[in-house]
Chains A and B, each alone.
Chain A
Amino acid sequence: AQSVTQPDIHITVSEGASLELRCNYSYGATPYLFWYVQSPGQGLQLLLKYFSGDTLVQGIKGFEAEFKRSQSSFNLRKPSVHWSDAAEYFCAVGAMAAGNKLTFGGGTRVLVKP
């Protein structure tokens, strides 16, 4: 069965500093990988996705993520954080062979200090 681990439950970062959120997945084949963001009281918004091809993917709001097969990782990065980036971030894996179920990590809550 597929699984996703986000090792950091909370991260605090200063505005303007860089941000990296870790994501590790477990799946037997190449998965489809996603990062979603959830602001308080809101639904989930897709930041970026990886299906195949270039392992460095660009998303919305200045985010990027890198797929590393050897490390089973899909870490999310942003070079300079804005106060509006304070939210909860979820990594997810989807796979047709697994019945198309989207499996989420536990989430990382990001706090931005002024």
Chain B
Amino acid sequence: GAGVSQSPSNKVTEKGKDVELRCDPISGHTALYWYRQSLGQGLEFLIYFQGNSAPDKSGLPSDRFSAERTGGSVSTLTIQRTQQEDSAVYLCASSPMGTGGAEAFFGQGTRLTVV
């Protein structure tokens, strides 16, 4: 079957605009993760979904960031009023049950550039 799919692969946006990043996880995977990868910052955890609920949102850097997941499948990460420091690669991953019991499979990422 298909792997984790993210769209768009690249996004250039103007400072102050809102952006939406999409993640299609592997079918049947109940756990979904968003990470951010910036130069010099490594891989930062943003949010974790189990089904449609998000038991851990501790990594969202500000209230400009939000995410939702519908139907236990597709997830959207929204960044409002983008800032230059939001420029990064945003990675989505899914897992059959969560990384306390199984590995996570990653998408190719969305490279966000805020100009």
Decide if A101 touches B56 in the complex (CB within 8 Å).
yes
Contact B107 A43 (CB under 8 A): yes
CA distance A34 to B87 in the complex (A): 27
Whether A46 touches B50, Cβ cut-off 8 Å, given contacts A96-B98, A100-B31, A102-B33, is no
- Is A102 a contact partner of B99 (Cβ separation < 8 A)? yes
Chain A residues lying within 8 Å of B95, measured Cβ to Cβ, are 100
Binds A, one of B13-21, B40-48, B61-69, B70-78: B40-48
Q: Any chain A CB within 8 A of the CB of B91?
A: yes
With A43-B91, A43-B108, A44-B106 as known contacts, state yes or no: A96 contacts B100, CB within 8 Å: yes
A58 proximity list for chain B (CB < 8 A): none
A98 at the interface (CB under 8 A from B): yes
State in angstroms the CA–CA spacing of A106 and B100 once bound together.
20
Q: What 9 pairs across the A-B complex have the smallest Cβ distances?
A: A96-B100, A94-B99, A100-B98, A104-B43, A44-B106, A102-B99, A43-B106, A43-B108, A99-B56
A97 in contact with B108 (CB, 8 Å): no
* B79 is an interface residue with CB less than 8 A from chain A: no
Instruction: Please pick, from B31, B45, B48, B108, the residue contacting A42 in the complex, using a CB distance under 8 A.
Output: B108
| A46:B105 contact, CB within 8 angstroms | yes
A101 touching B108, Cβ below 8 Å: no
- Point out the residue from A34, A42, A97, A107 that lies within 8 Å of B103, measured CB to CB: A34
Q: How many residues of A contact B (CB 8 A)?
A: 26
Task: Flag if B100 contacts A43 (CB, 8 Å).
Answer: no
Q: Is B1 an interface residue (CB 8 A)?
A: no
* Pair A94/B100 contact, Cβ less than 8 Å: yes
Q: Are B108 and A100 in contact (CB under 8 A)?
A: no
Q: In the complex the two chains form, is B100's CB within 8 Å of A100's CB?
A: yes
What 1/0 flags go to A84-114 for Cβ under 8 Å of B? Answer: 0000001010111111111111110000000
Q: Which chain B residues border A105 with CB–CB below 8 Å?
A: 42
Can you list 19 A-B pairs, Cβ within 8 angstroms, ordered by A? A32-B99, A43-B106, A46-B103, A46-B104, A90-B43, A94-B98, A94-B99, A96-B100, A99-B48, A100-B56, A100-B95, A101-B33, A101-B48, A101-B99, A102-B33, A102-B45, A102-B93, A102-B104, A104-B35
